[in-house]
Structure 1
Amino acid sequence: MKVLVVGATGGSGRAAVTELVNRGHDVTALSRHASSLPGVRGIDGDATDAALVGRLVEGQDAVVVTLGISESAVRVRLRGPSRTPLDIRSRGTRTVLTAMRRHGVRRVVVQTSYGTGPTSVGLPLVNRLIFALLLRPQIADTERQGAELRASGLDWVEVQPVTLTDEPWAGPPVTSTGGEIEEVRVSRAQVGWVLAEAVEDATLVRQVVAVSAGARVPAAVRG
């Protein structure tokens, strides 16, 4: 498949690009520094640039969106982000969805966050406090992002990981379309694997997929 990854140089974006390439997909990557990525067509650019996004979306079979703010959450909360718009998740996703409808591309996979939208009732208390005190503006934008995705009319999949870590691959994570989670952390490598699965698995269309780490599995079992 021809797959466009938007936000391709963040942790989850890089992991998704690697997994998609390993599975034999033809990957185009868009981010401010995507040309540094090996083995793909890397395009340096802005996810809110409608003309650029439109050109890249045309002819794709699927789009993966992994937008976010890589700066310190404390800095963003106190002073705002220095390099990325605070509403990058919703604005970038809206730009992608508009281009997809224009060019007839149906399949879209978007990473949001566990505890927003349909999974808000399952969020542990400590995470609720973090969302309210530290991440409130970013979570509000993620809520808008997810709502626009679910109302898009496209063949969407919303991937909602719990707290992200940079731990190495430890086998496939726990996934659920009913909101259940095990541990309150999951590695970006595992999320990349789920994003690639969501591109390929037609049974996940119009599902919200919660992603969390479970029992550790030796790396050799990875499929």
Structure 2
Amino acid sequence: MKVLVVGATGGSGRAAVAELVARGHDVTALSRHASTLPDVRGVDGDATDAALVDALVQGQDAVVVALGISESAVRVRLRGPSGTPLDIRSRGTRTVLAAMRRHGVRRVVVQTSYGTGPSSQGLPLATRLMFGLLLRPQIADTERQGAELRASGLDWVEVQPVNLTDEPWSGPPATATDGQVASMRVSRAQVGWVLAQAVQDQDLVRRTVAVSAGAPVPTAVSG
């Protein structure tokens, strides 16, 4: 398949690119420094650039969106991000979805965050406090992102990881479509695996998938 990855040099995006390439897909990568990625067509640019996104979406079979802000959460909360728009998740995703509808590209996989949208009731108290105090503006934007995705009319998959880590690959993570999680951490490498898996897994279309490290819960998505 021809797959466009938007947000391709963040931790999860980079892992998704590597997994897609390993699976034999033809990958185009978009981010501010995508030209540094090996084995793909890397395009340096902005996910909110409608003309650029439109040109890259045309001819793709699927799109993976892994947008986020890589700066310190404390800095972003106190002073705002220095190099990335605070609404990059929702605005970039909106730009991608519009281009997909124009070009008839149906399959889109978007990384949001566990604890937003359908999984909003599943958070432990400590994480709720962190969301409310430290991450409030970013979580609000992620809520908008997920809502636009679920209302898009496309063949969407929403991937919701719990707290992200940089731990090395330790095997496929636990995945569930009912909001259950096996732990409150998961590595970016594991999230990238799920993003790549969701590109072709027909059982996940129009489902929200919670992703966590640990043994799969009984209702976990197989495959």
* TM-score bucket of the superposed structures, by smaller chain: over 0.9
Q: Which position in structure 2 is the counterpart of 1:154?
A: 154
Residues 18-97 of structure 1 mapped to structure 2, 5 A cutoff:
18-97=18-97
Cα shift at 1:59 = 0.2
**How many Å separate the matches in 1 of 2:215 and 2:166?**
17
Whether 1:207 aligns to 2:213 is: no
Gaps of 5+ in 1: 217-222
- Cα distance, 1:215 vs. partner? 4.1
SS in 2 for 1:200: coil
The unaligned stretches of length 5 or more in structure 2 are 217-222
Aligned counterparts of 1:97 and 1:200: Cα–Cα separation in 2? 18
Q: TM-score, normalised by structure 2?
A: 0.96
CA distance in 2 between counterparts of 1:3 and 1:61 reads 6
Structural RMSD (CA): 1.0
Q: CA deviation at 1:50?
A: 0.3
Rounded Cα–Cα distance in structure 2 between residues aligned with 1:80 and 1:196: 31
CA deviation string 1:28-85 (max 9, x = no partner): 0000000000000000000000000000000000000000000000000000000000
Aligned match of 1:198: 198
User: 3-state SS of the aligned residue for 1:157?
Assistant: strand
Match of 2:173 in 1: 173
Structure 2: distance between partners of 1:119 and 1:215: 19
Structure 1 residue ranges, 4+ long, deviating more than 6 angstroms after superposition: none
Return the offset for 1:139. 0.1
- How many residue pairs align between the two structures? 217
Residue 14 of structure 1: aligned partner? 14
Taking the aligned partners of 1:73 and 1:57, their CA distance within structure 2 comes to: 31
Distance (Å, rounded) in 2 between the aligned partners of 1:123 and 1:4: 31
TM-score, normalized by length of structure 1?
0.96
- Identical aligned residues as a percent: 84
What residue number does 1:126 align with? Answer: 126
In the TM superposition, residue 200 of structure 1 has moved relative to its aligned partner by: 1.2
Partner of 1:5: 5
Secondary structure of 1:9's aligned partner: coil
C-alpha distance in structure 1 between counterparts of 2:101 and 2:119, whole Å? 27
